[in-house]
Structure 1
Amino acid sequence: MKHEEHRLGVSEVNLVVRHLKIEANSVDTVPAAVEEIDKVYGLDSVSFDKQTLVLNLAYDATRTCLDGIEALLSKHGVEVSHDWWTRFKEGYYRFVDENIQDNAKAEPWSCHEFTSGQPQRKRK
């Protein structure tokens, strides 16, 4: 398995990649927003393609989420596209982000008994 270097606070297990289309009237303010988003803890990479108007993000979903990134975009006056496909993807991205965060907080469990010689773990 190939090991890639990631930024501080980014675990490859929880790494997600997102692609958001941006409204054409917001293109002028995107560079400032990208610069601020690039400083977010847990973000691995961010880029903007001017030709397709797509913002590409890779981040650790246990450290940050789509809502926080969209808040920074709106702070700079950048609007995410309102077309049905982008809105559909946003809903799916939010669902997956929330699922990853919930799974990271959950205590692992097993319905199998421990075999002799292994320490017993007390349940709360």
Structure 2
Amino acid sequence: MPRPKKWRKVCCMPENASFGPLDNKNKGPDTVIMIVEEFETIRLIDLEGMTQEACATQMNVARTTVQRIYNDARKKLAQSLVEGSVLRIEGGDYKLCTRDERGFGCGKNRKCHHANQTIIHE
């Protein structure tokens, strides 16, 4: 019997979930799908400047899991940029942070789309 899937903690949903080329000359695969956990690792590591260890603690998973998720996310970003594919962020195995857990949230002065409500962090 397989081990049950561990939910990843995500504290910020993307404000925009679709990205793509503006010139409509899409020559690559139609769409690249990035799951929400991959978006969260890009946000925490690249935008917020967290280490993989700190990101793992924030997401409640092992550092090696964060490393794998982050590598998958970077590959999808690169594929979308290089091939001119549409990038969509959707799905995954995650649970949203509770109000009390939102300490790191979406960062200062950014909108956080959390549980169908918009919260502005100041």
TM-score (norm 1): 0.28
TM-score under structure 2 length normalisation: 0.29
Structure number with greater CO (CA < 8 Å, separation at least 6) is: 2
Q: Which has the larger radius of gyration?
A: 1
